A and B are shown apart, each in its own frame.
Chain A
Amino acid sequence: MIPAAFEYAKASSVEEAVKLLGKYGEDAKVLAGGHSLIPLMRLRLAQPKALVDINGIKELDHIKEDGSKLRIGALTRHVTLQNSNVVKDKLPLLAEVAGEVGDNQVRNMGTIGGVVAHADAAGDYPTIALMLDAEIVTNRRTIAAKDFFTDIFTTPLEADEIVTEVVFPVANGPHKYIKFRRRLFDWAIVGAAAQKMNGGWRIGLTNVGSTPVRAKAVEEALQKGAKPEEAAQQASEGLNPSGDLRASPEYKKHLARVLTKRAIEQAG
């Protein structure tokens, strides 16, 4: 289908993009990789009056080491994260997750800033951002991941606010992301991530609620010395997933437990 008509402007700096968003008001949207927005526009589920294209903003496409942090520019594409030697070295979990987002064509276009701003409950990076206490940096402020993903497709971003960076801690200990799906390029039916960090475990879950979930009960059980299969029983504690075409709520809770166990056991 053909999207509804809109005005289009390409920004070459963050200031210019913010100014353009301000000019068009509430009905304007940022265009990054377009791989969530354009499908929605084609189905006319989204009909923005104007798009501000940020693909020409070079300063948003970077991966920087900053002491114990890794600063990822919002426009960094999935394929760049997947292949980056710095990411493979400093936060290999993120490189692996990037390699599992969509397919080659999606990874050549989609960006980390787009996934985070879109806040789909099945998005993969939000889980990693939440469990590792990442920060989302905008042109105005820095927001902790735990305050950023407030509901499905909902974040505290204002209409003229642009995500500029996602800042992760360096963590290169044992890790694993397991994404359960029917076809290779599908979104996760459920995903589970495990990362060893500062002597403890961080556990995150994808698509088991309206936001990503950090499985603190599992982390604490592991801290107290529980075996992975015992600790993983806590993964579905407090979850209230909604069912969809692919999985019932009960099945999603089952997957949360099984995948958490596997992620911990397979973390290497």
Chain B
Amino acid sequence: MKHKVATTVNGRRHEHEVEARLLLVHYLRDVVGLTGTHVGCDTSQCGACTILVDGNAVKSCTMFAVQAEGKSLTTIEGMAKDGELHPLQQAFWDEHGLQCGYCTPGFIMAASYLLSQNPNPTEDEIRKGLEGNLCRCTGYVNIIKSVQSAAKAMNGSKAKAGEHSAAARRS
């Protein structure tokens, strides 16, 4: 028996009929056609499949598509805006936070959740916040640097936006 699922993926509405056993990650890759979300393991451990479900980081290999009914999903494809990389994507590029790149979408989505909860994490907090993601080739040093650099960039642009609006209020 098929079930109707309506989701919003990166701001776009989708409606499909799916089997109950379809995993959310396969729905994104094979039904919606967004292959940026990867599958790295069979044991819910690697985090390569991490996406945001209503803003919360979730391993999309450990949820069925039918459970996403009515939910808003963000994948790596939803991060860049108007042709500009998201600060996390830019930082992984600048700081060499990847080698093969297989784990990267998951790391970026997990890091984006971490920064939404804690915009200024310490190194320990970054390590703990990314404990659910495994990288087999870069090592974690540059990944942590990337998240630190993105946090700085994001806080900087927020501070700037704050200055602008303060200036606007003054004038």
A39 touches B131 (CB 8 A): no
Partner of B62, one of A6, A8, A10, A39: A39
Interface size on B, residues (CB 8 A): 32
B20 touches A7 (CB 8 A): yes
B64 touches A34 (CB 8 A): yes
A42 touches B57 (CB 8 A): no
- Chain B 12-55 near chain A by CB (<8 Å), digits 1 or 0: 00000001110100100000000000000011110100100000
| Chain A residue contacts of B58, Cβ below 8 A | 105, 108-109
A103 touches B127 (CB 8 A): no
Chain B, residue nearest A3 (CB): B21
A2 touches B50 (CB 8 A): no
Partner of B131, one of A3, A51, A184: A184
| Chain B residue contacts of A35, Cβ below 8 A | 44, 62
Partner of B64, one of A8, A102, A183, A184: A8
- Chain A 235-266 near chain B by CB (<8 Å), digits 1 or 0: 00000000000000000000000000000000
Partner of B56, one of A8, A38, A108: A108
**B80 at interface (Cβ–Cβ under 8 A)?**
no
B127 touches A108 (CB 8 A): no
Contact A5/B56 with A34-B62, A55-B67, A102-B132 known, Cβ cut-off 8 Å: no
Contact A109/B21 with A39-B44, A104-B57, A184-B127 known, Cβ cut-off 8 Å: no
Q: How far is the CA of A243 from the CA of B113 in the complex (A)?
A: 37
Partner of A38, one of B44, B50, B66, B127: B44
**A43 at interface (Cβ–Cβ under 8 A)?**
yes
| Chain A residue contacts of B132, Cβ below 8 A | 102-106, 185
Question: Range of interface residues on chain A?
Answer: 20 to 34
Partner of A104, one of B3, B21, B67, B113: B113
Q: How far is the CA of A182 from the CA of B21 in the complex (A)?
A: 33
B62 touches A108 (CB 8 A): no
Q: How far is the CA of A34 from the CA of B63 in the complex (A)?
A: 7
| Chain B residue contacts of A55, Cβ below 8 A | 67
B47 touches A103 (CB 8 A): yes
Q: How far is the CA of A111 from the CA of B61 in the complex (A)?
A: 17
A182 → chain B, closest Cβ, in Å? 12
A1 → chain B, closest Cβ, in Å? 6
B1 touches A7 (CB 8 A): yes
Q: How far is the CA of A27 from the CA of B4 in the complex (A)?
A: 24
A108 touches B57 (CB 8 A): yes
Of A6, A8, A10, A51, most B-chain CB atoms within 10 Å: A8
Contact A185/B21 with A38-B44, A53-B67, A105-B57 known, Cβ cut-off 8 Å: no
B39 → chain A, closest Cβ, in Å? 10
A48 → chain B, closest Cβ, in Å? 11
**A4 at interface (Cβ–Cβ under 8 A)?**
yes
Q: How far is the CA of A185 from the CA of B1 in the complex (A)?
A: 36
Q: How far is the CA of A109 from the CA of B114 in the complex (A)?
A: 16
| Chain A residue contacts of B67, Cβ below 8 A | 31, 34, 53, 55
9 A-B pairs with the lowest CB-CB distances in the bound complex, closest first: A103-B132, A8-B20, A184-B131, A185-B131, A108-B56, A103-B131, A105-B132, A3-B21, A105-B59
9 other contacts beyond A7-B20, A105-B62, A106-B132, with CB at 8 A cut-off? Answer: A1-B42, A6-B21, A10-B66, A31-B67, A103-B133, A104-B57, A108-B56, A184-B127, A185-B132
Chain B positions near chain A (C-beta within 8 angstroms): 1, 3, 19-21, 23, 26, 42-45, 47, 50, 56-59, 61-64, 66-67, 110, 113-114, 127-129, 131-133
